[in-house]
Structure 1
Amino acid sequence: MHRKLLAGLGAAVVLLGMVGCSTSGIEGPKPTGSQQQGSQPDVSGVPDVVAEVNGVELTKDEFVELYEGQYQQMQQQSQTTGEEVDQDALRKQTAEAMVDTELLIQESDSRDITASQKELDAALEKLATANQMKTADEALAALKEQGLDEKAVYSQLKTQVRLDKLIAQETGDIEPTDEELQKLYDQAVAQQKQSGQGTELPSFEDAKPQLVEQAKSQKQSQAYEALVKKLREGADVKVNL
């Protein structure tokens, strides 16, 4: 499904399932004695039906595609940290992420949330920009080289736009106040002093655009986590890993 490219979209962390905009950040799985060695994703033993969510089956093919993308990202991180990827933990994390995404899709269905062609085109433009491409056509061409035709791209974009709108319904107005932005800035200053890094931070006014995005991202993450928790409480979920 090439969700790595789709990560350029607003709340695409939902499709990734890993909530990359978490306020505390998400650390990679810690290595344990059961970690898989080598540099290849291990999907041996993964059942044909990885999970069932309110009667909807999540298949091995879907899992493998998402897992391989997540594994590649973790491998890149491991080259920096020197720690091997714990594939047991990553497989479980990926399966749970698929469950969360399916719950959100079902909730979007229940609320009759739709995506217009105009919204899909805007999402494609945003995707292209996020991946340093000049046009939407360039993004489509790149995805086609990866085996994803235009119909499949728009199908994914439709899901993503609907999920973005779902999260937006949960967050409501997330425009941060100056007080919230100042608090984030003060935290960044304190962290820099604690780390002992000599790089001077930009002024509050210069950093304001980034602080706004950070504050909005945190609120989206909190809304996502709260909604998923609520949906899981009333759901019939079975994970077969």
Structure 2
Amino acid sequence: MKKWLTGLSIASSMLVLGACDGGDDSGEDTGNAENQQESQEQTASGSGEKGGEGQQQEMPEPDMEGVPDVVAEVNGEEVTKDEFKQSYEGQFQQAAMQQQMSGQKVDQDELKKQVANGMVSQELLTQETENRGIEAPEDEVNKTLDDIVKKNQMKSQDEFFAAMEEQGMKKDEVMSQLETQVKMDKLIAEETGEIEPSDDELQKIYDQQKEQMSQMQGEEGGGEMPSFEEVKPQLKEQVIMQKQGEAAQKLAGELKEKSDVKVNL
């Protein structure tokens, strides 16, 4: 349930924004963040079986040693250690799951920098929504909440809030994040305008994914790829999320250049 925001258009790319300072991330993976996270979770759930022949790697623990009380300052606003810890632990869990399968040790110092930069970018975008006077009406926030409830296959908002309470998030905190998210969606929509992927664009992605699946089948076996028409809605959503993520990265970079930002890691 901690990944509840991945059902939204922009939030799934927020922490990936940290990579835009690294220079190697073109943003192409941003739109597929939800699929990547689900894949990582599925991979982790099967890691115990694959480790049967040898000793399964022990899950590493997130190292918060040396993290300052104020991780970053963005135009006078602080990103605190507690805020950073919550975000970092979620990202670290995904990286640790991959480590169990690949055997490649998580570079926690690098991951911390990426998460911190992502949080800086998120704060910059949040501040920009305020600067532009973007609002989040109650009906729009409720619609966003209903979408999340549906994506998580829950029966009601109350069931969702109860699940979030179990994860340590109170209702008012959830609603505050939703309001921020609605504003963020509007901000990026102002940057991108209406996004309508062409059939040729979707077909190209489909062909790439089909080729990747074919290669995997050759190595491990597996089922057939669904037809283009069957997966077209998912491909469209993927392209839209990717372009929104790229726009968020670009805007955050522009805002950072003219802002007072200090990262203390």
TM-score (norm 1): 0.86
Structure with the bigger percentage of helix: 2
Residue in structure 1 matched with residue 231 of structure 2 by the alignment: 207
Residue in structure 1 matched with residue 6 of structure 2 by the alignment: 7
User: How far 1:42 sits from its partner (Å)?
Assistant: 0.8
The correspondence for 1:23, drawn from 20, 28, 35, is 28
> Is the contact between residue 185 and residue 204 of structure 1 (CA under 8 Å) also seen in structure 2?
yes
> Is the contact between residue 14 and residue 101 of structure 1 (CA under 8 Å) also seen in structure 2?
no
Distance 1:114 1:183, change over 3 A: same
| Cα distance between partner residues in 2 of 1:190 and 1:77 | 23
1:53-202 matched pairs, under 5 angstroms:
53-195=74-216, 197=218, 199-202=223-226
| Cα distance between partner residues in 2 of 1:233 and 1:168 | 21
Counterpart of 1:182, as a letter, is: Q
> Identity of paired residues, percent?
51
1:230 is aligned to 2:254: yes
| Cα distance between partner residues in 2 of 1:231 and 1:120 | 26
> Is the contact between residue 59 and residue 100 of structure 2 (CA under 8 Å) also seen in structure 1?
no
Residue in structure 2 matched with residue 33 of structure 1 by the alignment: none
| Cα distance between partner residues in 1 of 2:16 and 2:100 | 20
1:42-57 matched pairs, under 5 angstroms:
42-57=63-78
Tell which deviates more after alignment, 187-196 or 116-125: 187-196
| Cα distance between partner residues in 2 of 1:6 and 1:214 | 15
Residue in structure 2 matched with residue 31 of structure 1 by the alignment: none
> Is the contact between residue 3 and residue 66 of structure 1 (CA under 8 Å) also seen in structure 2?
no
Distance 1:124 1:75, change over 3 A: same
Counterpart of 1:231, as a letter, is: L
Listed one character per residue, the Cα deviations across residues 118-143 of structure 1 (whole Å, up to 9, x for unaligned) are 11111111222232322111100111
Which stretches in structure 1 are left out of the alignment for 5+ residues?
29-36
| Cα distance between partner residues in 1 of 2:202 and 2:13 | 25
Residue 18 of structure 1 aligns to a residue whose secondary structure is helix
User: How far 1:186 sits from its partner (Å)?
Assistant: 2.7
| Cα distance between partner residues in 1 of 2:192 and 2:141 | 21
| Cα distance between partner residues in 1 of 2:73 and 2:257 | 15
Which stretches in structure 2 are left out of the alignment for 5+ residues?
20-25, 38-57
> Is the contact between residue 78 and residue 85 of structure 1 (CA under 8 Å) also seen in structure 2?
yes
User: How far 1:201 sits from its partner (Å)?
Assistant: 2.2
| Cα distance between partner residues in 2 of 1:237 and 1:40 | 29
Counterpart of 1:219, as a letter, is: K
Over the aligned positions, Cα root-mean-square deviation in angstroms equals: 2.6
Q: How many residues align?
A: 231
Distance 1:152 1:183, change over 3 A: same
Listed one character per residue, the Cα deviations across residues 133-160 of structure 1 (whole Å, up to 9, x for unaligned) are 2211110011112222211111111111
